[in-house]
Amino acid sequence: MSAESTHIAAIQAHLLRSPFHRLFSPEVIAVDHETLSLTVKAYQCAELERQPGTDQWHGGAIAALVDTVGCYALTLLGAEPLPTINFRTDYLRPAIRTDLFATAVVRQAGRSVGVVDVDINNSNDKLIALGRASYSMTAFNKAPG
């Protein structure tokens, strides 16, 4: 098994530990250690609909996907999932009758803050939303003892 597939399996297992994450039925699609990027597929379900019967993703679910995948992108640096400091999501179009693909790219990983950009695309590769999140790196960078 390659190092990449091992890392994909580890992230996948960690994601599925959370009952909240399991609502998305997340599937780790790709990991790139050179670009520090992570892609996760999220499956549409009735529990994440804006209104029953609309087949439209709720904006809060999309925002949660931004936050979750952004956080897990930092695990490519060896960090455990870290606390969120702040994040924002800009919605560009509704996500209707589609699974979503969240691609997170680590932009900065300093001593105290990590910053990650996240693109959310639909199954036709149309950009649905853009997100940026920052996470506390303090726990990750804390010296032992």
Q: 3-141: CATH homologous superfamily? A: Hotdog Thioesterase (3.10.129.10)
Residue 26 to residues 17, 62, 87, 140, 144: CA-CA distances in angstroms?
A: 11, 13, 20, 24, 33
pLDDT at 145: 47
pLDDT at 141: 66
Judged against a pLDDT cut of 50, whether residue 1 lies above it is answered with no
pLDDT at 140: 67
Judged against a pLDDT cut of 80, whether residue 2 lies above it is answered with no
The reported pTM is: 0.90
Average pLDDT (17-27) is 92
pLDDT at 136: 94
